[in-house]
Amino acid sequence: MSTNAMEVVLFRLANQPEDVARFRADPDTYLAEHKLDSSEVGALRAMDIEGMAAIPVNWMLMMGAYQALHGRPKQPEYLQRIRSHATRRPVSRKEEV
Amino acid sequence: MAQIVAGFTIPHIPLLAAKPEAPPADVRQKIWNAFDHVIDRLKQLQVDTIITIGDDHCWMFSPECVPQCLIAIGDVSGPREKWLGIEHVDLPVHEDLAMHILRAGQSMGMPWAFSKHMLADHATVIPYHFCYRHLQDAKIIPVYLNETIDPVISSALACRVGAALADAVSTWPGTERVAIVGTGGISHWVGMADMGETNEEFDRRILSLVASGDIDGLVKISDEDIVREGGNGALEVKSWICAMAALGSARGRLIAYEPVAEWITGIGFMELERAA
């Protein structure tokens, strides 16, 4: 799995509402327009945050695409998923944002 | 000749507009006071042109084409992000000086990209909204450095950009009084697991290096160390480095520092003062 084409898809989802609409309507057709292998298609189709974080793809692109697809109010859900997977800094935690 | 008469580092946090009431009242008042201080100093120094250095946040430049350094030479409007909740406006750009900076840099081999028609994101619009627009008739020149998509601009190149800005201003046959403003946060993790945390120890290390005018010390911090200790957002310190390089042998005077979890950022305001 590479990141180049995935990050372009994430950028378009984050920035172009028409791409979000097409992705929602028919993700397979939308993703087939990009040079993605089957694992990349699977990660994007499922918006597999944990899997993409492990590569990792660009964090801002991933958060931007997630928000575009699910809405900004879902940001806590995004962070919860990221935190369930990624290693965090070894410091005392303040209140979670 | 035009001259650089001021330099500052200020934040460009989108939550300043989107969630202005999020931090405790005393904390946010410190931030508004710091903006007021910068505005007052810009007025005192009779600044009429602001070169504002920032970065894109994956809203403007696709991974298909990423400029390492870019200058806006034409129309600029913003913000691109509607969720900021602030009015979309046309920004007043000093197009002639921007074109001169571009051409002067090109003649020296600087790898400038340029934009003739920019829809700016919060890196430009937040400083304009909270600071620059309060200066009557002042014009701006937005400069973008790639601090978000790997491989990001090297800190050494950020220095060269700053030096090129200074050289170009010094050869502009106008009477402009120019401020160089490096915008961005210190520690912050954007989209990463530690989003919402700050690292005060790292922040104060950066502030100390700026205070002592130690550009070399800042440049020597590797990108990997910046991201590990301060998060991906802390790469915005490259905008500060660029501003410092434009000022020459400037030292930073702290205006305000606050690690603000509600705004997910270590926030620093400094005035960059040249040695007398």
Residue in chain A nearest B196 by alpha carbon = A97
Residue-wise pLDDT tens digits, B17-46:
999 999 999 999 999 999 999 999 999 999
Alpha carbons A14 and A12: distance in angstroms, whole number: 5
Alpha carbons B178 and B3: distance in angstroms, whole number: 6
Residues near B22 by Cβ (< 8 Å), separated by ≥ 6? Answer: B15, B28, B262, B263
- Which of A24, A6, A8, A14 shows the shortest CA–CA distance to A66? A14
Alpha carbons B244 and B223: distance in angstroms, whole number: 18
Which residues in chain B have Cβ-Cβ distances shorter than 8 Å to A78? 191
Q: From the CA of A86, how many Å to the nearest CA of chain B? A: 6
Q: From the CA of A26, how many Å to the nearest CA of chain B? A: 23
| ipTM for the whole complex | 0.91
pLDDT bucket at A72, cuts 50 / 70 / 90: confident
Alpha carbons B56 and B146: distance in angstroms, whole number: 7
Q: From the CA of A22, how many Å to the nearest CA of chain B? A: 19
- Interchain contact, A15 vs B59, CB within 8 Å: yes
Which residues in chain B have Cβ-Cβ distances shorter than 8 Å to A94? 196-197, 261
Q: Domains (ranges, CATH) in chain B? A: 3-274 (3.40.830.10)
Angle at B182 between CA B47 and CA B194, to 5 degrees: 145
Residue-wise pLDDT tens digits, A8-67:
999 999 999 999 999 999 999 999 999 999 999 999 999 999 889 888 899 999 999 999
Query: pLDDT above 90 covers what percent of chain B?
Result: 98
Which residues in chain A have Cβ-Cβ distances shorter than 8 Å to B199? 89, 91
Across the interface, of A58, A78, A87, the residue whose CB is closest to B58 is A58
- Are the CB atoms for B102 and B112 separated by under 8 Å? yes
Phi, psi of B77 (to 5 degrees): -140, 170
CA dihedral B119, B120, B125, B126 (to 10 degrees): 140
